[in-house]
Amino acid sequence: MKKLKLSLILILLVFGCKSAPQEPAKEEPAAPKETVPEIDAATHYSRGNEHYKRYEFDQAINEYSEAVKKDPSMADAYIARGNAQSGKFNFENAKGDYSKGAELNAEYDHYARGYSYYLQQDYKSAVTEFSESISLEKNLFAAYNDRGLSYANMGNQDKAIADFTDAIGINSNSAFPYNNRGNAYLSKKNYDKAVEDYSKAVELYPKLVFPYTGRGVANYRLKEYDNAIADYTKAIEFTPNDAVLYSLRANAYMGKGENDKAENDRATAEKLKN
């Protein structure tokens, strides 16, 4: 009997004392995925403009292309991409973008053609087209600025200055019409006004090389050799392989009587030319 009881106890220990079944572990809810906000057409367009200002035409074209994907009705983006294509001398691509922009907004038709003429150095035709564009939209900053460039290249600096002044009246935060008007004043040998405009351009867009170069020339003509050297040196920082800048700075060093520095710059210029 004792053996039977012992056997029963062993059976209970082996088979009857199993641990209670465990409930399956509950999965922790997954953390919500962080959503990346979608970039809209206006942001792509704005980015394209920034690249265009820095002459980064490929990046500008990419951003404008994204803009028109998001908003196929954005005429400004087609026109801007046309400008960037023209900057790369891709005139056929530019023509397509200009045509599309004009299809969406007829006011752009004359401006687009004028810009294309300008890049092809047909300045008379460019003036005609820009003038038509201005008659349609008098506050069109780009048309005034680019007509001014056309007049300047035709040698009519007074009309150029008038257009650049109108462009500044529309958008006084752009460095380009100040730089362009500075060039026109430089051509007219009005060096003080040229320095003033170049300085404003530098203030508005410190990474633009052209106003440093232009101001350097104006300062040199005013015999402000130290200022000229400082301007050419800054321009060289941006474009260190530009032989012309070294030659210009050599002239300023010569003006100061620093012949050794002048010879060094002339030697560098010669190396860069070869």
Tokens of 109: 């038709």
pLDDT given for residue 25 in this prediction: 55
Q: Is the pLDDT of residue 8 over 50?
A: no
Provide the pLDDT for residue 102: 85
Q: Which residue has the higher pLDDT, 100 or 10?
A: 100
Q: Which residue has the higher pLDDT, 89 or 183?
A: 183
Q: Which of 145-154, 156-165, 199-208, 246-255 has the weakest average pLDDT? A: 199-208
Question: What is residue 17's predicted lDDT score, i.e. its pLDDT?
Answer: 42
Q: Quickly count: other Cβ atoms within 10 Å of residue 8's Cβ.
A: 11
Predicted local distance difference test score (pLDDT) of residue 142: 85
The tokens for 172 are 């006084």
pLDDT for 12:
36
Tokens found for residue 34: 């962080």
User: Which tokens sit at 253?
Assistant: 């060093």
Helices (H), 54-140: 57-70, 75-87, 91-104, 108-119, 123-136
Q: Are 149 and 157 in contact (CB under 8 A)?
A: no
Average pLDDT, the chain: 87
Residue-range domains of the chain with CATH:
186-274 (1.25.40.10)
Give the predicted TM-score (pTM) of the model.
0.75
pLDDT (0 to 100) of residue 2: 47
Distances (CA, A) of 175 to 96, 170, 206: 29, 13, 9
pLDDT in tens, 76-128: 999 889 878 866 768 779 878 977 998 899 888 898 888 778 878 999 999 99
Asked which of 21-30, 89-98, 257-266 is least confident by mean pLDDT, the reply is 21-30
pLDDT tens digits, 162-181: 999 999 999 898 888 999 99
In this prediction, residue 35 carries a pLDDT of 66
Q: Would you give the DSSP letter of residue 209?
A: S
Minimum mean pLDDT among 25-39, 62-76, 91-105: which range? 25-39
**pLDDT value at residue 138:** 64
Compare 240 and 37 and report the one with higher pLDDT. Answer: 240
